[in-house]
Structure 1
Amino acid sequence: MSFNLANRSLAERATLEDEKSRLFELWQANLGKAKADASRLIGEKAKRKGKWSEWVRSELDGMTPPEYANMVRAEVNRLMAAAR
């Protein structure tokens, strides 16, 4: 989604910038852990066989905060794409 920040009030722009900073800090602080969790999930693929996707969804649903779960999901998707 694209929008012009100049059309937003100063308070709205500040809120958006605060959220962007919060997400960047979360990403920066948790990237290594997210990669390790994704590797752990991928490592279970051979063991769990046909039930693996369901198990991964369950594991991701249990991760908090949701932004962290999205980081792990993206890393799992990246690793799966690289394996093809």
Structure 2
Amino acid sequence: MSYNLASLPFDERNALEDQKATMFEFWQQNLEKAKAEAGRLWAEKGKRKGQWQAWAAEQIAALEQGQYQSMVMRELERLG
């Protein structure tokens, strides 16, 4: 389902735009770090073999922010 943002009240539209800008800024600031973290995890795949997936999931779960965890998981998917 989609809706036209123009039909929302001004304050609500502005809040959505602010949230979008904040998320984009977070993404920009953390993308390289997420790529490096995914690379570190990926480098362990050969060493850990069948145990790697569970280990990687633990490592990702230990990361601070959910949004950052998602970034690392996406980067891992790109590597795979």
TM-score (normalizing by structure 2) = 0.91
Name the structure 2 match of 1:68.
68
Name the structure 1 match of 2:40.
40
Residue 12 of structure 1 and its aligned partner are, at CA, apart by 1.4
Does 2:60 align with 1:27? no
Name the structure 2 match of 1:77.
77
Q: How far apart are the structure 2 equivalents of 1:2 and 1:27?
A: 24
Q: How far apart are the structure 2 equivalents of 1:61 and 1:9?
A: 38
- After superposition, the CA RMSD in angstroms is 1.2
Residue 71 of structure 1 and its aligned partner are, at CA, apart by 0.7
Identity of aligned residues (%): 47
Q: Which amino acid aligns with 2:6?
A: A
Structure 1 residue ranges (4+ consecutive) displaced by more than 3 angstroms after TM superposition: none
Where does structure 1 lack aligned partners over 5 or more consecutive residues? none
Q: Which amino acid aligns with 1:22?
A: T
Which secondary structure state, in structure 2, belongs to the residue aligned with residue 2 of structure 1?
coil
Q: Which amino acid aligns with 1:42?
A: W
TM-score (normalizing by structure 1) = 0.87
Name the structure 1 match of 2:53.
53
Q: How far apart are the structure 1 equivalents of 2:55 and 2:8?
A: 42
Which secondary structure state, in structure 2, belongs to the residue aligned with residue 64 of structure 1?
coil
How many aligned residue pairs are there?
80
